[in-house]
């Protein structure tokens, strides 16, 4: 998987081929933000097309209005293409910065212990899996989604790894996974991208709309969403 570190590199790669690349956080962090002011909306567990499956001990999920509309569109695509046999399961959406920092520190410690990295090399490796809370992490914007596919019954599907796996096998296009898992990843990818999201190539489960990664990937002049300070009071 190619890592993109400059806009000159990125501009030479056709949009159709960018799905195979990882755009470094150091680069995406330079994209300007012009926040639309869209509000966070709570995702209710009432849709027959979406399941809520928290990975952070919270059963409350929020997204910006534009991202939520696109998620519902993707969920309908999955329903149609599988004849109702599968649906999207959300594991994480909006994430407050204090929780982002907790996750970042935990993952940094795990990778440091496992791979023996330090300094810039450690930061670059860690940010392949989680954004630095000192920047504008995608999950803090309300535009990022961690998701998987489940059967209509709620049973897990084979995606090759678990959500949040810290390994190269988590790369969306990693070739050495079972064929069923590859098909499931492609099904999720095509539905989400058809709905307007972009995928983070190091994480098959992570999709975003409107944040800095999305803007860099799409070549947009600015991101639509910055970090949200607090949840709605509803």
For the stretch 126-138, pLDDT in tens is 888 887 888 889 9
Report yes or no on 227 lying in a domain. Answer: no
Whether the pLDDT of residue 143 is over 60: the answer is yes
Q: How far is CA 193 from the centre of its chain?
A: 12
Tell whether 139 is in a known binding site. yes
Of 196 and 166, the structure prediction assigns the larger pLDDT to 196
Report yes or no on 75 lying in a domain. Answer: yes
Whether the pLDDT of residue 222 is over 80: the answer is yes
Count of Cβ atoms closer than 10 Å to residue 46 Cβ? 6
For residue 65, what pLDDT band results from cuts at 50, 70 and 90? very high
For the chain, what percent of residues have pLDDT higher than 70?
Answer: 95
Report yes or no on 195 lying in a domain. Answer: yes
Q: What is the enclosing helix (H) or strand (E) of 188?
A: helix 179-194
Report yes or no on 212 lying in a domain. Answer: yes
Tell whether 176 is in a known binding site. no
Report yes or no on 231 lying in a domain. Answer: no
Which of 17, 38, 115, 203 does the annotation list as catalytic? 203
- Read off the CATH number of the domain in which 132 is found: 3.30.1380.10
Of 104 and 161, the structure prediction assigns the larger pLDDT to 161
Q: Which domain holds residue 126?
A: 2-218
Q: Is residue 106 annotated as part of the catalytic site, yes or no? A: no
Q: Whole-angstrom Cα distance, residue 174 to residue 9?
A: 22
Report yes or no on 223 lying in a domain. Answer: no
Tell whether 206 is in a known binding site. yes
Tokens of 22: 């990882």
Domain count, the chain: 1
Q: E strands of 5-152, at which residues?
A: 21-23, 40-42, 50-52, 62-64, 86-92, 144-151
Q: Whole-angstrom Cα distance, residue 140 to residue 136?
A: 7
Nearest CA among 201, 94, 217 for reference residue 146: 94
Report yes or no on 130 lying in a domain. Answer: yes
């Amino acid at each position: 998987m190619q890592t993109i570190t400059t806009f000159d590199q990125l501009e030479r790669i056709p949009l159709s081929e960018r799905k195979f690349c990882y755009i470094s956080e150091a680069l995406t962090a330079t994209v300007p933000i012009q926040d639309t002011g869209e509000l966070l909306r709570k995702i209710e567990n009432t849709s027959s097309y979406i399941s809520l499956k928290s990975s952070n001990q919270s059963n409350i999920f929020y997204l910006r209005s534009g991202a939520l509309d696109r998620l519902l569109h993707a969920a309908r695509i999955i329903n149609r293409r599988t004849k109702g046999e599968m649906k999207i399961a959300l594991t994480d959406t909006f994430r407050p910065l204090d929780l982002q920092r907790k996750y970042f520190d935990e993952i940094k410690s795990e990778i440091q212990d496992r791979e023996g990295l330090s300094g810039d090399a450690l930061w670059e490796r860690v940010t392949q899996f989680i954004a630095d809370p000192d920047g504008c992490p995608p999950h803090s914007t309300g535009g990022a989604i961690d998701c998987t596919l489940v059967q209509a019954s709620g049973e897990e599907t084979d995606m090759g790894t678990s959500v949040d796996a810290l390994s190269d096998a988590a790369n969306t296009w990693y070739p050495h996974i079972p064929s069923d898992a590859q098909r499931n990843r492609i099904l999720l990818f095509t539905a989400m991208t058809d709905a307007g999201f972009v995928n983070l190539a190091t994480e098959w489960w992570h999709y975003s709309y409107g944040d800095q990664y999305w803007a860099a990937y799409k070549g947009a002049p600015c991101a639509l969403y910055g970090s949200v300070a607090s949840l709605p009071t509803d």
